[in-house]
Amino acid sequence: MAQPSYMRACLLIKPGKIQLAQIPVPLPGPGEVLVRIEAALTCGTDVKAFRRGHPMIPMPAVFGHEYAGVVAAVGDGVEGFSVGLEVMGVHSAPCGNCFYCRRRDFQLCESLMDSKVLGSFAEYLLLPERVVRQNLFEKPPMISFAEAAFLEPLACVVHGIRRSGVEGARRVAVIGAGPIGLLHLLVLKAHGMEVLVAGRRKSRLEAALTCGADRVIDTEEGGDLRTAIRNWTDGYGVDMVFECTGQPSVWQDAIWYVRKGGTLVLFGGCAPGSLVSYDAGRLHYDAITILGVFHFTPADVLEARRLLVEGKVVPGPLISGEYGLEDVPRALERLISGDGIKFVIYPGTVQERKELS
């Protein structure tokens, strides 16, 4: 099949406005790979950009960054990927040469976000050489394109859990029952943990139970989360808390949910300039560790792929529905209203989507 010259793509024009347009299909240069998108996923970052803009997402431009698809074309020098190969990947990769990369803090690479890939809400996506070389993989047939598109958010979750040293924990709490909180739950259960999930919206807490949560707490009902966690742990508190809301008040309260010697992992990102304060005595005398985590490394991407391919993490319960490119605004509006967890975006035409499903 000949590659078209133009493709359909969702352009984020300004907050609240998305335009479906015909734009040129990019051509891969040396080391680059052009992927025909078979499935993309909505993300909290997409929702933020749609609501009020985002400093890392230019406007007007294509957006979306969780994807899986089929290789449509390859540039000179590409090895291991050929036209027709089904692939899964992420949207960034470290340079390998900067101050942080030389110290193997790849998630803090100085040019990480400068070379990020945006545009999975389109029919084709061009991947730069460093992503192709480090973070693009063949998709095996046992997982669907929609499941494979979870690779990027799952890698972020894997990174935080790996850095936390969770292997020594038994009972942990996840604060936030959105897609990231539920991915934490899935990975923690794969590690054999007992997991309590606290969050809002009954549908999401029901999804947490489906994903294996040992207990759920509805914070909208006004329950005392600190007391509930103490009761669940014989008065001690959990070994670890994974904060997945990005709300300063939740960051601040979460320190009271861990036991002495416990760890608070701050995954949810607060707005720049936000300030929180902690009881110094609690930190010092109870030997609490507070850990900030961000993004992922190539090793985390490999581990996330293993969890998906081996069926250790099955993200199907997080999918609330599917849409075409023409309905991306509807999908994001549903998420803004609290209706749904993640939606699959199938870029093909209506007939192509029927054939794919």
The neighbour count for residue 253, using CB atoms within 10 Å, is 16
Query: Is 273 domain-assigned?
Result: yes
Query: Is 309 domain-assigned?
Result: no
Residue 54 and residue 122 in one domain? yes
Tell which of 292, 307, 330 closes a domain: 292
Query: Is 168 domain-assigned?
Result: yes
Helices (H), the chain: 44-52, 99-102, 129-135, 145-148, 151-164, 179-190, 202-210, 225-232, 248-254, 280-285, 298-309, 328-336, 350-356
Residue 116 and residue 36 in one domain? yes
Q: What pLDDT score was predicted for residue 351?
A: 44
Question: By the 8 A CB rule, do 329 and 305 touch?
Answer: no
**Count of structural domains within the chain:** 2
CATH of the domain at 32: 3.90.180.10
Query: Is 333 domain-assigned?
Result: yes
What SS3 class is residue 335?
helix
Residue 15 and residue 146 in one domain? yes
Query: Is 158 domain-assigned?
Result: no
Q: What pLDDT score was predicted for residue 3?
A: 79
Kindly compute the dihedral angle of the four CA atoms of residues 77, 64, 112, 241, in this order, to the nearest 10 degrees: -130
Per-block average pLDDT, block size 10, for the chain (357 residues)?
88 95 97 98 93 86 96 97 98 97 98 92 98 98 97 98 93 97 98 96 95 95 87 97 96 97 96 94 97 97 98 97 97 95 85 49
**pTM of this prediction?**
0.95
Residue 129 and residue 172 in one domain? no
Residue 100 and residue 227 in one domain? no
Residue 21 and residue 140 in one domain? yes
Query: Is 108 domain-assigned?
Result: yes
Q: How far apart are CA 123 and CA 5, in angstroms?
A: 12
Residue 285 and residue 322 in one domain? no
CATH of the domain at 172: 3.40.50.720
What are the respective helix, strand and coil percentages of the chain, to the nearest 5? 35, 25, 35
Residue 176 and residue 272 in one domain? yes
Residue 210 and residue 243 in one domain? yes
Query: Is 304 domain-assigned?
Result: no
Residue 17 and residue 143 in one domain? yes
Residue 36 and residue 11 in one domain? yes
Query: Is 305 domain-assigned?
Result: no
Residue 19 and residue 113 in one domain? yes
Tell which of 236, 257, 292 closes a domain: 292
268 DSSP 8-state letter: S
Q: Domain limits at 225?
A: 163-292
Q: How far apart are CA 157 and CA 183, in angstroms?
A: 7
